[in-house]
């Protein structure tokens, strides 16, 4: 069933003034071709200060742009979540693999935040961090602005512990290891940029240990001390052991040009989170059991035999939802998290 469509809104900044209307959209949103943006402008789907405009209209500071995207059918995803912990200030949920946390790309209503907001009508839970679409497990949310501020501060100061389960190939992996590899933006033909291992990127640290070895795979526990986008996927690939089935990151931690971050097919699970309660200061630990090994083995057999096709990427800018706690500029598909 198609969704309700969306109106994308932009405001012209000082640096953007002087561009033509077509150059603005073609440059800022390269997911669509210049020809596609031209068609939208000519069909009056794009307005400047509420009125149709020509493609060569020169933009001025403060002008309001709107793009009316018609309803579209979103990709099928698992539309459910589980509440792990809840009180007046905090909500901790578990999401399945395949469900995006926030709107982006071809997703608007098929997201965790949309499902949560449907369930919690009187409050607006704010996600304190995000998981990639293919990652399952724990997402921490705040149910008030004061709780959001305190939990976000804990996240910035590294006071929230996040532990994951990851499945990689078989090899001579040390029982305990630390990966210190910077992560930064790398040019990407579809999205403009994605994140990968870079010597001049932002510092990032992941600690890992081997939990169990199988003939063809190894189950790891990974704790991250920084929250760079796709950190575990990039770090393990840089370390020489990319996640089994990861369509985006191979050896070296660099992205493949024919995949995007939202593509699924790998096993990564947010297993535990520990934080200080924003009101009481009590240290709270929440665990979300990983899927049984029988389920993981089945998933891997499907991956190896069918090789999941990438999710169709819909070339449109990212929706900025009302009351969204994440700024528009951070809701790019390239910024999908771990």
- The answer to whether residues 55 and 100 belong to one domain is no
211 and 235, same domain (yes or no): yes
* CA–CA distance, 22 with 35 (Å, rounded to integer): 9
pLDDT beneath 70: ranges in the chain: 292-338
CA dist 317 → 19, 69, 102 (Å): 18, 10, 13
Do 39 and 140 belong to one domain? no
Identify the helix (H) or strand (E) that includes residue 202. Answer: none
Measure the CA–CA gap between 52 and 56, rounded to whole angstroms: 12
**245 belongs to a structural domain:** yes
Same structural domain for residues 174 and 29?
A: no
155, 124: one domain? yes
pLDDT (0 to 100) of residue 111: 96
Taking only the tens place, the pLDDT of each residue in 157-185 is 999 999 999 999 999 999 999 999 999 99
Question: Residues for the chain: how many in total?
Answer: 338
Residue 74 within a domain: no
The boundaries of the domain holding residue 31 are 6-69
CA distance 127 to 283: 19
- Residues 215-260: tens digit of each pLDDT: 999 999 999 999 999 999 999 999 999 999 999 999 999 999 888 8
Query: What whole-number percentage of the chain has pLDDT above 70?
Result: 86
Residues 165 and 264 in one domain: yes
Residue-by-residue DSSP string for 166-188:
EEE--S---SEEEEE--EEEEEE
SS3 153: helix
Buried b (16+ CB within 10 A) or exposed e, 243-271: bbbbbbbeeebbbeeebbbbbbbbbbbbb
Residue 124 is given by DSSP the state -
pTM: 0.81
Overall domain count for the chain = 2
What's the rounded Cα separation, in Å, for the pair 213 and 167?
A: 10
Question: How many Cβ atoms from other residues are within 10 Å of residue 331's Cβ?
Answer: 20
pLDDT of residue 291: 76
What share of residues in the chain are helix, strand, coil (percent, to 5)? 20, 30, 50
Amino acid 330: pLDDT: 28
Give the β-pairing of 268-276 and 136-142: parallel
- Residues 109, 138: one domain? yes
Do 173 and 218 touch, CB atoms closer than 8 A?
A: yes
Is there a single domain that holds both residue 292 and residue 155? Answer: yes
Domain at 308, CATH number:
3.30.2350.10
- Residue 203 forms part of a structural domain: yes
pLDDT at 312: 37
Domain boundary among 28, 46, 69: 69
Provide the pLDDT for residue 300. Answer: 52
**CATH number, domain with residue 44:** 3.10.290.10
Residue 154 lies in a domain: yes
Domain end among 21, 40, 69:
69
Query: What pLDDT sits at residue 337?
Result: 59
Whether residue 112 is found in the same domain as residue 172: yes
Q: Do both 46 and 97 map to the same domain? A: no
CB contact at 8 A, 112 and 319:
no
């Amino acid at each position: 069933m198609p969704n309700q469509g969306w109106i994308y809104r932009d405001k012209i900044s000082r640096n953007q003034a002087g561009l033509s209307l077509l150059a603005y959209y073609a440059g800022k949103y390269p997911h669509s071709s210049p020809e596609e943006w031209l068609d939208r402008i000519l069909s009056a789907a794009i307005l400047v200060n509420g009125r149709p405009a020509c493609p060569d209209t020169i933009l001025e500071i403060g002008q309001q742009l709107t793009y009316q995207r018609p309803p579209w059918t979103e990709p099928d995803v698992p539309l459910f979540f589980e509440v792990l912990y809840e009180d007046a200030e905090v909500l901790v949920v578990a999401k399945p693999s395949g469900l995006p946390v926030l709107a982006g790309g071809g997703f608007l209503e098929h997201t965790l935040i949309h499902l949560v907001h449907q369930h919690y009508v009187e409050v607006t839970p704010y996600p304190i961090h995000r998981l990639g679409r293919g990652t399952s497990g724990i997402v921490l949310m705040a149910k008030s602005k004061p709780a959001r501020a305190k939990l976000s501060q804990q996240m910035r100061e590294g006071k929230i512990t996040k532990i994951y389960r990851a499945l990689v190939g078989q090899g001579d992996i040390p029982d305990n290891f630390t990966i210190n590899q910077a992560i930064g933006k790398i040019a990407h033909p579809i999205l403009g940029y994605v994140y990968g291992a870079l010597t001049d990127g932002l510092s990032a640290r992941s600690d890992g240990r081997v939990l169990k070895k199988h003939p063809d795979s190894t189950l790891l526990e990974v704790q991250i001390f920084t929250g760079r986008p796709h950190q575990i996927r990039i770090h393990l690939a840089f370390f020489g052991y990319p996640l089994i089935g990861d369509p985006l990151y191979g050896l070296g931690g660099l992205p493949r040009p024919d995949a995007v971050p939202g593509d699924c097919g790998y096993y990564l699970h947010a297993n535990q989170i520990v934080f200080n309660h924003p009101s009481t200061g009590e240290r709270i630990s929440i665990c979300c059991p990983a899927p049984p090994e029988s389920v993981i083995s089945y998933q891997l057999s499907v991956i190896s035999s069918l090789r999941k096709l990438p999710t169709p990427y819909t070339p449109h800018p990212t929706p900025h939802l009302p009351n969204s706690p994440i700024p528009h500029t951070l809701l790019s598909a390239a910024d999908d998290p771990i």
